[in-house]
Amino acid sequence: MGVDSYSSMSSSSSTAAPAYRGRFAPSPTGPLHFGSLVAAAGSYLDARANKGAWLVRMEDIDQTRTVPGAADAILRMLETLGMAWDEQVIHQSRRDDAYAAALDKLKKRGLIYPCSCSRREIADSAVGGIDGPVYPGTCRKGLLAGRAARAERVLTNNTRIEFTDTIQGRIAHSLERQVGDFVVKRADGYYAYQLAVVVDDKMQGITDVVRGADLLDSTTRQIYLQQLLKYPTPRYAHLPVAVNVLGEKLSKQTLAAPIDGTQPVAVLNAALNFLGQDTVSGCGPQDVAAFWPRAIAGWKLGRVPKQRTLSAPD
């Protein structure tokens, strides 16, 4: 079964949109590993415990990082783990028109400008911020003489963007000072993650974003774009990120091992334990149908550790 043939796995015939709409949005750069399983399980449990919809979106807008077949492998593993999604799987790589329309709305309001600066130039002249160098505004008043545009940036200001994360607490950033005017369309022609995720969450009617805390410091940028585009802001809950013994986030780059689908209940119980939940007993090693109702009934978001990182199980 190819990726394009995956659609709704829900048998519900109701046409009424649920009050809660959550999502799992992996980047298909490799197979599902424990770190991505934690994000999937946390978002799935919270959606189902709230009798809501759970959607899957492939964040494959950066085709230079996408591994052929990885999206299909992720979906197959979710099926093996008994995690049924609602509605059709969305692929960012097919939604350029939607991102272009949002960018055009911002351009018409004079909020976007071209930038000719390279990453090295920015690093050489910038101070450190919450997520790398703070863009110093070099091209705000026009491109430097003889330079061609590379990326497109959105104007920021020092109005504080604040939100209360359900897990991590109160977060506040002054974007101009702590991030700078950030990229919404990259030098290689791809739309930036910050813009794409905001457009997609609006299109899918996402009310609740449960994801890893590696994206916590991106959230104020996303809220800022939501405000500029007059989009609603979802509720946010950022789960601890699973790290290895060196304190590195589990990922393809850190050689994270793929999930072993032969013992799905054991793997899912490891994710529950990581998230501070009671594990489920009395199920066979492959009996995900029995596992999920018990896990959902016991889910308590308030028990998730209020930490940005946690060590992954051995």
177 in helix, strand or coil?
A: helix
Does residue 222 contact residue 231 with C-beta atoms inside 8 Å?
no
Q: Residue 255's pLDDT band (boundaries 50, 70, 90)?
A: low
> Do 137 and 185 lie in a common domain?
yes
> Do 211 and 302 lie in a common domain?
yes
- For residue 292, pLDDT over 50 is answered with yes
* Distance from C-alpha of 222 to C-alpha of 227, rounded to nearest angstrom: 9
Say which residues have a Cβ less than 8 Å from residue 11's Cβ, sequence separation at least 6: none
- For residue 5, pLDDT over 70 is answered with no
Domain range for 133 is: 97-193
> Do 211 and 299 lie in a common domain?
yes
Q: Could you tell me whether strands 128-129 and 132-133 are parallel, antiparallel, or unpaired per DSSP bridges?
A: antiparallel
> Do 106 and 87 lie in a common domain?
no
- Give the end of a domain, one of 193, 210, 239: 193
* Distance from C-alpha of 269 to C-alpha of 281, rounded to nearest angstrom: 9
- CATH number reported for the structural domain that contains residue 168 in this entry: 3.40.50.620
* pLDDT tens profile 262-289: 999 999 999 999 999 999 999 999 999 9
> Do 91 and 101 lie in a common domain?
no
- Give the end of a domain, one of 169, 193, 217: 193
**Mean of the per-residue pLDDT values for the chain?**
92
pLDDT at 223: 98
Instruction: Over range 200-222, report the average pLDDT.
Output: 97
> Do 102 and 189 lie in a common domain?
yes
* pLDDT tens profile 34-82: 999 999 999 999 999 999 999 999 999 998 899 999 999 999 999 999 9
> Do 213 and 305 lie in a common domain?
yes
> Do 175 and 305 lie in a common domain?
no
* Distance from C-alpha of 137 to C-alpha of 181, rounded to nearest angstrom: 7
> Do 208 and 91 lie in a common domain?
yes
Instruction: Over range 209-216, report the average pLDDT.
Output: 97
> Do 90 and 207 lie in a common domain?
yes
* pLDDT tens profile 123-171: 887 788 998 899 999 999 999 888 889 999 999 999 999 999 999 999 9
> Do 163 and 16 lie in a common domain?
no
